[in-house]
Amino acid sequence: MDERPHIHIELVSDPIYLSGARELVGSVARRLGFDDLQCSKIALAVDEALCNIIRHGYDRAADRPIWISVWPAGRDESGRPSGIRLVIEDEARQVEPNALKGRELDDVRPGGLGVHIIREVMDDVVYAKRKDKGMRLSMVKHAPRRDGPGRTCSVTLGRDGEGSA
């Protein structure tokens, strides 16, 4: 966590940039060991976190800062990165971290979905107040163990031409 992030983004709180932020995160997750569906879910969690900041934190003001930091979260046995750590920060209204629980799973209704999605998708989710102002959301998602041979050995010879890893 203290290590410099591999990617650090400052963006304005305009929904027009949500797609850029989540495409970056989804694409980086792909390279950090996740499959397409997992990447899409991780991108969704980031999207929901940004939407909540824009909507609840900044009351839809489109010109306030949001910071996203990205680190690889670990290494698998062959030394390749395998997991993603994300920290999303704002300087918006502070709320009690334990108020951000997400709705109960069996309370089926629209709304109250964002926090629920974030907690459902990511392995670790921690909300905290930043020192001076604003909130910090720290999230980690571990990549599933890779089966089969490592990537550089995954070239297969056969009519189907598809590897198993």
Partner 1 sequence: MSEQEIGIANAAGGIVVTPEGDIDMHRSPELRSALRGVNDQRPPRLVVNLAKVGYMDSSGLATLVECMRTAKGHKTEMILCGMNDRVRAIFDIARLDQFFIIVPTVDDIVGS
Ligand X SMILES: Nc1ncnc2c1ncn2[C@@H]1O[C@H](COP(=O)(O)OP(=O)(O)O)[C@@H](O)[C@H]1O
Contacts with ligand X, residue ranges (CB under 6 A) = 52-53, 56-57, 92-93, 95, 100, 102, 111-116, 135
Q: Which amino acid is at 92?
A: A
Q: Does 162 bind partner 1 (CB under 8 A)?
A: yes
- Residue 123 interacts, among ligand X, partner 1, its own copies, none and using kind-specific CB cut-offs from 5 to 8 Å, with none
- Residue 81 interacts, among its own copies, ligand X, partner 1, none and using kind-specific CB cut-offs from 5 to 8 Å, with its own copies
Alpha-carbon distance 64 to 55, whole Å?
A: 12
Alpha-carbon distance 54 to 12, whole Å?
A: 9
The CA-atom distances, in angstroms, between 25 and each of 20, 28, 73, 85 are 9, 5, 13, 10
Q: Which of 11, 24, 113, 140 binds partner 1 (CB under 8 A)?
A: 113
Alpha-carbon distance 147 to 118, whole Å?
A: 27
Q: Does 30 bind its own copies (CB under 8 A)?
A: yes
Q: What per-residue string of b and e applies to 25-55 under the rule 16 or more CB within 10 Å gives b?
A: bbebbeebbbeeebbebbbbbbbbbbebbbe
Q: Does 129 bind its own copies (CB under 8 A)?
A: no
**Half-sphere exposure of residue 126: CA atoms within 13 angstroms, side-chain side:** 9
Q: Does 47 bind partner 1 (CB under 8 A)?
A: yes
Q: Which of 77, 99, 110, 132 binds partner 1 (CB under 8 A)?
A: 110
Length in residues, the chain = 165
Nearer to partner 1, 47 or 90 (CB): 47
* Burial class of residue 9, CB neighbours in 10 A (0-12, 13-18, 19+): middle
Residues of this chain that bind partner 1 (CB under 8 A): 15-16, 18-19, 22, 31, 33-37, 40-41, 43-44, 47-48, 51, 54-55, 82, 105, 108, 110-111, 113-114, 116-117, 120-121, 143-144, 146, 151-152, 154-163, 165
Residues that bind its own copies (CB under 8 A): 6-12, 14, 16-17, 19-21, 23-28, 30-32, 70, 81
